[in-house]
């Protein structure tokens, strides 16, 4: 997610099921209002340190990460103590009573987590990543990726990607390659929101040429 360092005006980020473990690249996204990070490799709630100075963050979906632990109350209270401006956490509305209770039951995070050797994107084989890969089926990965991609496309006024078309170019790929591809796809769609009309015309022309090249190659192969 290092691309987010160059997107200070981004408002919505959806990176569920992408092997993400480090939230540091998000700390400059001052206009970020919605952040979807379900089913990643975020190991420590100390990663919230990088979100504490995002004034417009109102929606966070962090469930099904290792940092959630085995105590859902402590997890929710800690998140709300450090991000009191949230209006919705894990698809559940935040109440005033919870915010007050979080000051008592939540843990204050004052420092970032220790650096890890595993980089974002496709982590090395560890016990946690191996356990996660055994729990998630290819169908689950596809459903999450398709859902998040179509959410971005809807916000851009684009038609949703049909499931059959989405699965056709991912079925032959490994989990690692699919996650990388979906990450790049989401990043491109998000970047399009930063472009003006001239920039979008350039993108349209480039995509048109690429599609023609692919179609020509397919005809030759047939």
pLDDT tens for 76-125 read 999 999 999 999 999 899 999 999 999 999 999 999 887 654 444 444 44
What's the pLDDT score for residue 19?
Answer: 87
Nearest CA-CA partner of 21 in 60, 58, 80, 62? 62
- Of 3-12, 39-48, 122-131, 170-179, highest mean pLDDT: 39-48
Q: Which residues contact 47 (CB under 8 A, 6 or more apart)?
A: 22, 23, 67, 112, 113
Does the global pTM surpass 0.85? Answer: no
Backbone torsions φ then ψ of 59, nearest 5 degrees: -130, 125
Task: Report the candidate in 47, 52, 54 with the shortest Cα–Cα distance to residue 24.
Answer: 47
The SS3 call for residue 35 is strand
DSSP alpha helices (H): ranges in the chain? Answer: 72-82, 96-105, 127-135, 138-155, 163-168, 175-192, 197-221
Q: Mind listing the pLDDT tens digit for each residue in 138-188?
A: 455 555 556 666 776 676 666 776 665 554 344 444 555 666 666 677 777
Domain residue spans in the chain?
Answer: 2-105
Indicate if the pLDDT at residue 127 is higher than 50: no
Place domain 2-105 in its CATH homologous superfamily. Answer: Ribonuclease Inhibitor (3.80.10.10)
Give the dihedral sign, CA 163/165/168/169. Answer: negative
- Other beta carbons less than 10 A from residue 158's beta carbon: 12
Is residue 62 within 8 A of residue 36, CB to CB? The reply is no
Distance CA 214, CA 220 (A): 10
């Amino acid at each position: 997610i290092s691309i987010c360092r160059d997107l200070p005006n981004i408002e919505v980020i959806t990176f569920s099921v992408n092997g993400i473990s480090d939230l540091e690249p998000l700390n400059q996204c001052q206009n970020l209002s919605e952040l979807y990070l379900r089913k990643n490799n975020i190991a420590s709630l100390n990663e919230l340190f990088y979100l504490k100075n995002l004034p417009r963050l109102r929606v966070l979906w962090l469930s099904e990460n290792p940092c959630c632990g085995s105590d859902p109350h402590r997890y929710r209270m800690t998140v709300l103590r450090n991000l009191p401006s949230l209006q919705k956490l894990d698809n559940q509305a935040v109440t005033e009573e919870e915010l007050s209770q979080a000051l008592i039951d939540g843990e204050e995070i004052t420092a970032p987590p220790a650096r890890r050797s595993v980089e974002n994107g496709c982590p090395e084989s560890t016990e946690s990543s191996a356990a996660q890969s055994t729990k998630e089926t290819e169908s689950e990965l596809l459903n999450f990726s398709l859902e998040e991609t179509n959410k971005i496309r809807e916000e851009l006024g684009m038609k949703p990607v049909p499931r059959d078309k989405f699965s056709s170019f991912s079925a032959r790929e490994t989990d690692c390659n699919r996650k990388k591809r979906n990450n790049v796809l989401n990043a491109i769609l998000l970047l399009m929101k930063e472009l003006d009309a001239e920039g979008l015309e350039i993108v349209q022309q480039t995509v048109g040429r690429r599609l023609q090249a692919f179609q020509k190659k397919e005809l030759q192969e047939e």
